[in-house]
Amino acid sequence: MALALLAQEAGLNFVALTVDHALRPESADEAKWVAGEMEKRKIKHVILTYRGKPPKKNVEATAREYRYKLLLDYCKGHGITTLLLGHTADEQAETFLLNLTRGSGLKGLCAMREQNFRNGVEIARPFLDIRKKELQDYLTSRGQTWAEDPSNDNEAFKRVKIRKLADIFEELGLSLERLLSTIKNLQYADEALSYYTGKAIENLVISKDNRHIVLSARELANLPRTTALMSLAAIISPDEHIRGESLVRVLKAMLDGDTCTIAGFEIEHKNPRRIVLAKLPVKC
């Protein structure tokens, strides 16, 4: 809601998108309420509703993927090149801590980026340095109410448990500001590694076509572990995130001469000096 109002104040040409995940009976009415508020302010608005079966496990992660797909499909279908998202500083810190509990590598600990690209659409998050409370105060000053998702208080979700520990972290000296500073430093380190990863890929990839990517086994073995993992992620799936444990598994298989699959590729070892990533047939 704050994002839509601020975009209007900034004079942007935009359409506000509300995603109805259809996970709660009341979600459709909430989306209609948002549509009514947008109409009052003469803001173009569209409701995007998920029509598939509701997820039975990993609800948060699955719903997030559905949400991004709906948003990006709309953008691509309407010639929209930039998608603005309203993630706040609080959510940035939560993402960092959540990924920390998962044992994430550098990419995961970098949390969310202010700007990145996905499926050819620029994703921008202008509120990553702004607290949720500041946005609520802004809405109040504009006489605008907002809807709260009850799942934000559901401790069945690990993110909510982490959110409720914020005051304890603050007492221990782990303030939001320090967390954001740590995330920023990690992002700078990731930028440096990304630069050297690009250089490594130039030597690692021997050839590439629509069906195969051929890598040098020697170059891969000589790379520092983190650079090797980042190189594989960039080569195998440049647009979609691959979980760290999957990359570790495939790197081990490559170095050990084993066969495995990842992200639509099968790893083949037909020559001791070459590692071939062969695209798997698409299932109908």
Contacts for 109-112: CB closer than 8 Å, 24+ residues apart: 109/183, 109/186, 110/183, 110/186, 110/187, 110/190, 111/183, 112/87
Q: Is-contact 176 233, C-beta < 8 A?
A: no
Q: Which two tokens stand for residue 207?
A: 């050839």
pLDDT of residue 282: 65
For β-strands 82-84 and 121-124, DSSP reports them as parallel
Domain locations along the chain: 2-88+111-154, 203-279
Q: Is-contact 10 44, C-beta < 8 A?
A: no
Give me the CATH topology for the region 2-88+111-154.
Answer: Rossmann fold (3.40.50)
**What does the alpha-carbon distance between residue 95 and residue 97 come to, in Å, rounded to a whole number?**
6
**What does the alpha-carbon distance between residue 137 and residue 110 come to, in Å, rounded to a whole number?**
28
Q: In 3-state terms, what secondary structure has residue 178?
A: helix
pLDDT of residue 153: 67
**What does the alpha-carbon distance between residue 275 and residue 284 come to, in Å, rounded to a whole number?**
28
CATH no., domain 203-279: 3.30.465
pLDDT digits (tens, 9 = 90+) for 51-103: 888 777 778 888 888 999 999 999 999 999 999 999 999 999 999 998 898 88
pLDDT digits (tens, 9 = 90+) for 108-165: 899 999 999 998 999 999 999 999 999 999 999 999 999 987 776 666 677 778 887 8
117: which strand partners? 122
**Where does residue 276 fall: left (phi above 0), alpha (psi -120 to 50 degrees), or beta otherwise?**
beta
Nearest by Cα to 110 from 171, 178, 185: 185
- Average pLDDT score over residue span 173-187: 94
pTM of the model: 0.79
**What does the alpha-carbon distance between residue 225 and residue 237 come to, in Å, rounded to a whole number?**
18
pLDDT digits (tens, 9 = 90+) for 257-268: 888 898 888 998
**What does the alpha-carbon distance between residue 199 and residue 197 come to, in Å, rounded to a whole number?**
5
**What does the alpha-carbon distance between residue 271 and residue 284 come to, in Å, rounded to a whole number?**
32
Q: Is-contact 82 126, C-beta < 8 A?
A: no
